[in-house]
A and B are shown apart, each in its own frame.
Chain A
Amino acid sequence: MLIFLISPDLLAAGTEASSIGNVVLPRVITPENVQQCVEPTDIMRRDHMKFLLQQRDATVLDGNRNGKYSLTGCINCHAQTPENGKLVRSGDPEYFCTACHQYTSVKIDCFECHSDRPTVPAEQLGHSLDTQQSLARIVSTNHDGVHKKLLQQVTLGD
């Protein structure tokens, strides 16, 4: 019964996503009113792993937790649960990181240790400027909008 209820959604998701030939492009979840990530989209697609690696070492070795490329920062914006939506975990194909990594056959193990859930609720994203990254600052422009409808599903092809 559960499978029956979920499957129409998944089917709908599959048909709505843009595709190249028979290959369906991954659906990537981004916060609704965020104009830009910490870097432009094309740079983030290509180099996000380099930014994360650099930030990782700066944090672990030097204790510098103020950088804008933190994994927590990614998760806080990209892994919020949509209102009335299902709680998406890192193993699910809908999860922000997993969507593209499955498409590109990349296997990461970040979430074997790291938490895959946001550290702040969506409605507080804009209020914690000290701990949040630049992305959160952009989100802060519209708290109500974030709260009412946090997530918009967009495709990579857009």
Chain B
Amino acid sequence: MTNNQISQPGSIPSSDSRRSFLKNSAAIASVFVAPGVILYKASHATSSKGAAARTIRWGMLIDTNAMTEADVDNCVSACQREHGWKSNGQPTDTQWIRKLNLLDSETGYKKSLPMMCQHCEDPPCVDVCPTGASFKRADGIVLVDRHICIGCRYCMMACPYKARSFIHENIKNQTAVAPRGKGTVESCTLCVHRIDSDGANAVPACAEAVNSAAKKPMVFGDLNDPDSEISKRLAKLGALKVRADLDLNPGIRYQGL
């Protein structure tokens, strides 16, 4: 070996081995990355195949003119049967859905309507949740992940519709589709278990209870699909968003208010 060769910043053999080392490690890295990428794609594919797709925004149109007070009561009891909750009329009782009685004191005009989670596009309950338990699914349904809910009830304070309630006591004999437990907050899920199974053909329990061949006051569907029944009825007659001034863009719309 000559002095000249030694003084070179990187002799040929060492440079070679270094290059091959980098090449090899890059190859290894890509091997490690590739399964990760494939895994990611696979899991992504299964989740979109499952149910919640970003292209969809589920909503419901409620025509209060076509609903009697008894219809609203039927909505509430159907929800109770479906999800196994009870209400004894106490202020702190569970209320996935409730009957609102409106009275125009000037004319004496009365109206009843079902009020539940409005599944906002910009839900304030999600904004305030300290643990991320309150969340909005890709298809617009606002839910509580009760595995991580700590029961702080911030979301109940934030909700302008008073749609959420807190479970104060131990519960037994829950239904399989609606796991519920003490110390967590809950609200209308838009019958998400039915939606996950039946997609656009799903009918939430409340709508199922009042819809008949003669009338269909509660229409569930995809607000993003211009050909869906709900979109067509909205395009024809329009509808009211409750507390539209808050700019939350709720997915539940009311006609006849």
Q: Which chain A residues border B184 with CB–CB below 8 Å?
A: 113
A63 at the interface (CB under 8 A from B): yes
A114 at the interface (CB under 8 A from B): yes
Summed over the interface, the residue pairs from A and B with CB atoms below 8 Å come to a total of: 65
Q: Which chain B residues border A113 with CB–CB below 8 Å?
A: 146, 171, 174, 179-181, 184
Q: Once the chains are docked, how many angstroms separate the CA of A125 from the CA of B83?
A: 23
Tell me the count of chain A residues lying within 8 A, CB to CB, of chain B.
20
Other A-B pairs, 5, CB within 8 Å; known A63-B196, A117-B176: A62-B51, A113-B179, A114-B179, A130-B197, A131-B197
Per DSSP, chain A at the interface is loop
B121 at the interface (CB under 8 A from A): no
Q: Which chain A residues border B46 with CB–CB below 8 Å?
A: 58, 64, 66-67
Asked if B147 and A56 make an inter-chain contact with CB atoms under 8 angstroms apart, the answer reads yes
Report B's interface with A, CB cutoff 8 A. 46-47, 49-52, 135, 137-139, 143, 145-147, 170-171, 173-176, 179-182, 184, 192-193, 195-197
Asked if B170 and A64 make an inter-chain contact with CB atoms under 8 angstroms apart, the answer reads no
Q: Which chain A residues border B180 with CB–CB below 8 Å?
A: 113
Give 3 nearest A-B pairs by CB, closest first: A64-B50, A113-B181, A63-B51
Asked if A62 and B197 make an inter-chain contact with CB atoms under 8 angstroms apart, the answer reads no
Known: A113-B146, A115-B174, A131-B197. A62 touches B47 (CB 8 A): yes
